[in-house]
Structure 1
Amino acid sequence: MNPIRHPVEGANLAVYEEGAGMPFVFQHGLCGDQAQPGQVFPAASGFRRITVECRGHGASDAGPKAAFSIATFADDIAGYLAAQGAGRAVVGGISMGAAIALRLAVHRPERVRALVIARPAWICAANPENMAPNRIAGELLDRYPPQEARRQYEALPLAKELERDAPDNLASIRGFFTREPIDVTAALLRAISMDGPDVTEAEVSAIAVPTLVIGHGRDLVHPLGHARSLAGMIPGARLVEITPKADDADAYRADFRAALSAFLKEL
């Protein structure tokens, strides 16, 4: 699948579209790419998946590192939708993508007809404690060569906790130490981990579009409690708990697709 190129200030972004029908903007997580939402998108849903690979992710340019933020990434997506004349879309995402979608639902409601929040790592506040595992990896990559940065990370009590309670999180973090360019990876991990969607509980409680929230256990970076909290705040939101990825990756993907398919079918 070849990307569409979308110019933004200081960079060109890669945009992927698949399927046919109404638009569903479905965003990836931190240091991920379009394949992450692509593997759980129900292809026969009657929706067209649109994934804008954020600055510094996938085939998109990084541009100035000072621009790395959830707000910038959300503005880039809103700009793409405006340029395409897409009107209102279902907007959703996984992890960082969920925070981007939540920000768009609050700050750009004219673009959002329904909302999907999957494995949220943020509720409202910036720099949540659950993002510390990613932030620490970025700080070590800033200070040491990748091999030494990983050695120091693996020696932390935090790594032992992740290995015991959230092995899927640890597998993702281990991948950061070989993700190129290293300087971009370090900057993303630090900047986004300390950022937030810049929304208040009152604003989230005022969201008035159909909303699906997806969460699972055995995940310290994306606590199930965050999914439950957001589902409780958003009027009429549906919470679906799926198989933890650390327990069975195939069942995780199948459950994810089934939850999305049922929600999109109702729309």
Structure 2
Amino acid sequence: MSSHQRMYLLAATSIAALVGVPFNANAQDRITSVWTGAYMGVHGGVAAQQSTTYDLNGFGPFVFFSAGTGSVTQNRTSGLAGGHVGYNWQSRRLVYGVEADIAGAFGGNADVTLNQDLFGGTIFQQTYSTELKWLSTFRGRAGLELDGTLAFVTAGLAVAGLRNRWGQGFTDGTPLEFADRFVDTGARFGWTVGGGIEHRFSPNWSARLEGLFMDFGRSRKTITATSAGGTDTGNFSAQWENTAIVARAGLTYHFGTVN
């Protein structure tokens, strides 16, 4: 047998030995026990929120500000900081479980103000505002584990504290003064889907990166007021659509882990 053949045989034997390690009894016990159990942790990140405001009944002259679309879209980025809890089960390489989390949002509130010179120099103004106050999800997770690293997908319920607003009026205080406002505030329910990767760097600790898409559907507010032209009085409705893309990193402690 030549030296090259001996080298190839040694390499093949070594690879076979490494591949065979996970299938011995002790290693298999370690694999099936490492992710099973309860956990809790902290996380932080950013939420890129999009809010679209629709004027459903022609309350304001959207034609001046949105090229006749009857809507105005805002994009805001907020910081996030919060915590999560959950429970995992493991069957060989498959890890699945449930998780709940909540995070406060900060730094994402801002107004968009649009001015239009109307009626011989009088300035007509519209202001749009969207604010994300907090986020929470209740999700299922499932993924595959390899050598302490878990790649997973996740989906479930999303809840957010949102405040959407828009108002209009003349800036000089003449009728219609800036007083008529549509405000939608409170908890909004929707759905979320995403995925991520989590690595076990010690028997009880793991670090994760994950991304989520959240859709909070539509909400509507109706007021009784006078339209922008000052001639039509009645019920007017505004509608909002809110979505968010979340990217975050986390640190997790796992209870009762068997190493």
Q: Max radius of gyration: which structure?
A: 2
TM range (shorter): under 0.3
Task: Identify the structure with the greater helix proportion.
Answer: 1
TM-score normalised by length of structure 1: 0.19
TM-score normalised by length of structure 2: 0.20
